[in-house]
Structure 1
Amino acid sequence: MFLKKVIQIGLATTILSVGGSTGTPLVTAIEINKNPTPLETNIQQKQDPLAFDKNTTSISKYIFETLKSNTSKSIGDLESIRVDFTDVTFYDENGIELNKDIIIENISKEIEESKNPIIGISTWREGGSWTSGSGYSSCKGTAIHGFYSGFELVFKADYTNLQGNYDQIDRIYNVNWAGLGNFSLISQGIFRAKEQSGYSAYGGVKGGWNLGNVSKSLYLYFRVGNDTAWIDSNM
């Protein structure tokens, strides 16, 4: 979720301070990297002691603090783990500097989403009737479902697999949604009716969803190509 892409930190100073409940720093690490190299990082992994989660708060624009139980001390004693991005420069895999403010904004949004106790993500398809003939198989009325944080989006699709030829989506219809939050439809229907060389046929639904102070652009697409079909979604 957070910073899944390769990140480089170069010509910048990264400061990490870890303090106990008294506020006294226990560890201060300063790293200056003059020759940036790619770093694979995912700071939301649970095994990472610096993982940002629902116990994390933003104490300034670039500084985040996570409170965690200190098992070496008495019950209820917490340690404060701070990550300071003030002097950090972010690069993409091609060495191009990224907009730090946008990255920090995305981190803040992810932290807020992690505080939501109803987060759940899944997609599935069900049903549909098949007809087959010489060199083709058609499915009508398969239902494509997406579920996110108590909100469900669904539509039906008809499509055809053509053996030795390009597959196609014949129809996208019966778009419906229900559940928690508000949803505003942006686009729906068939976006590429017929498979092309290197590109699947696809269609579906895209819209804006919000619940409280959490907002997200959701898409639920159905794709066909190479005589198969699959769901493409961020739900």
Structure 2
Amino acid sequence: MRILIVEDDPGIQRLLVDTLTEEGYTCDVAGGATEALHLLPLYPYALLVLDVMLPEGPEAGFHLGEQLRLEGVQTPILYLTARGALDDRVRGLQLGGDDYLTKPFQHRELIARLQVLLRRGAGQAHNLLPLAAGWKLDLTRHQAVRDALQVNLTHREYQLMSLFAHHPGRVFSRSDILDRIWAGESSIEPKVIDVYISTLRKKTGEGVIDTLRGVGYRLGEG
């Protein structure tokens, strides 16, 4: 299972990665909310370990959790933070958190809480995300599926479809997509996105991805 750790303290990053890797989990690390938003659509994360105080602000973790829930992302969230006041714990749970653990923490308690959330999440079929026109995105096999039909996706096609699936209703401009999927690749022309969208439509038919002329693309509403 793959876990995303959103934490800006290098020491705690290493501690969490070492602890979770020892337990057999695959870990990615984001140093802040912005980096987390880039990574989340790219991989089928089973769980998100989220600090509250991040470089974007003292409550950036709360804001990120709330944003993800508003956008329909159901990945379990464990807040792991030094903010242990009752009001903070309640707020974290109200803003989309599934559990709340304060620093410093005991390794055994962290693992126990993660296992509970992972068992809970396993019963929610997180490996399939709804698309449109009857299609779903298989996060494990990197395929688009509809009934008995299975369509293989290339790495970039999967990243694009995952981005739309995790943010239903949201419109992404070409620059948004480039920033999230081709981050750091300055040589990529924006028109390459049109090519990938066209290929995805050939594979899944019309209605899965909508074009808003002059604005961008979004997941279809049908």
Which category of TM-score, normalised to the shorter sequence, fits these structures? under 0.3
Q: Which has the higher helix share?
A: 2
* Structure having greater relative contact order (Cα 8 Å, sep ≥ 6): 2
TM-score (normalizing by structure 1): 0.24
Which has the larger share of strand? 1
